[in-house]
Every structure is written in structure tokens, then in C-alpha cells.
């Protein structure tokens, strides 16, 4: 309801005579139509930019571990042998 009221206020600022309390059905229809047009415009602009410049492979989401900078793997250097040990954090047993 708050989004619809905000849409009604913005549309009256742009010249539409829309009053949500007086005619809620018209408000709902205009808001739904606006959201559909917004989605169409968003997808067409996205596809035209991708056609022009490319780079669709960069739109894929990165794994959650890379986004937060955390992973469940830890690395430790063995000072005696000089090798690098990779293990799950919290699983390495000292003995």
C-alpha cells in the first residue's frame, strides 16, 4: 500500500490525476502497467548494451565464498618439509 501511495504522489507530480483512496482499482492498474513497462525497458536496455559492448560472461554471480572473501579452506606452510598444506579450517589435527 505504501508503494502504491508513493507511486500515486509521484504520478500526480508528473501530471496524472490519480487518487488511490478515491479509485484504488485505477491506481493498482496504473502501478501494474508502470512496473511492466519498467521491466520491458530494463530488459531491452540490458540486451542492447550487451549486444553493443558484450561482456555477458561477467554477469554471472560469483560464488558466495569469493564475494565475502572467505573460504572454508585454509593453507599452512610446513616449515620442516617446505610444502604447502591445504585443509578445511578447523579439521586439521595436530599430533
Q: Is 76 within 8 Å of 85 (Cβ atoms)?
A: yes
Over residues 1-16, the pLDDT tens digits come to 788 888 888 888 888 7
Q: Does the reported pTM lie above 0.95?
A: no
Q: What is the mean pLDDT of residues 14-21?
A: 79
Structure-block grid coordinates of residue 79: 616449515
| CA dist., res. 28 & res. 10, Å (int) | 14
What residue segments make up the domains of the chain, in order of their start?
2-59
Provide the pLDDT for residue 95. 46
Provide the pLDDT for residue 32. 92
The more confidently predicted of residues 85 and 37 is: 37
Amino acid at each position: 500500500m505504501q508503494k502504491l501511495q508513493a507511486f500515486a504522489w509521484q504520478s500526480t507530480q508528473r501530471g496524472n490525476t490519480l487518487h488511490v483512496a478515491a479509485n484504488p482499482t485505477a491506481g493498482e492498474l496504473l502501478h501494474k502497467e508502470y512496473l511492466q513497462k519498467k521491466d520491458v525497458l530494463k530488459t531491452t536496455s540490458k540486451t542492447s548494451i550487451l549486444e553493443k559492448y558484450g561482456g555477458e560472461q561477467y554477469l554471472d554471480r560469483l560464488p558466495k565464498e569469493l564475494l565475502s572473501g572467505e573460504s572454508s579452506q585454509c593453507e599452512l606452510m610446513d616449515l620442516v618439509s617446505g610444502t604447502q598444506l591445504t585443509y578445511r579450517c578447523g579439521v586439521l589435527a595436530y599430533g
